[in-house]
Amino acid sequence: MTPDIVTTIGQEAMRTALMLALPLVGAALLAAIITGVIQTVTQVHETTISFVPKLLAVFAVFLLTLPWMLDVMTVFTTRIFTEIPNYIK
């Protein structure tokens, strides 16, 4: 296995991980911004108030994107395993 192949596999793995994490991080960011604006307007600054909406938003987005995430992970893993004979050469 050459260093180029290892680098390519690493890049694909990082790209896949970022692609899978982006919807969850985006939902947490959006929930944090909305909660922050509401807390600023109402002047209620309680840490637990900001935690619960983020948790619910991430959980909801996770449930909505789970089939897509599983598909992306399955395609990536299948491609890696099917190309093992090519990597050994």
Could you state, in order of their start, the residue ranges of all structural domains in the chain? 27-84
pLDDT tens string 28-46: 999 999 999 998 898 887 7
pLDDT by residue for the chain (89 residues), tens digit each? 788 888 999 999 999 999 999 999 999 999 999 999 998 898 887 777 888 999 999 999 999 999 999 999 999 999 999 998 888 87
Please give the structure tokens belonging to residue 7: 């680098």
Structure-derived torsion over alpha carbons of residues 43, 44, 50, 51, reported in degrees to the nearest 10: 170
For residues 15-36, one letter each, b for 16 or more C-beta atoms within 10 angstroms of the residue's C-beta and e for the rest, the string is ebeeebeebbeebbeebeeebe
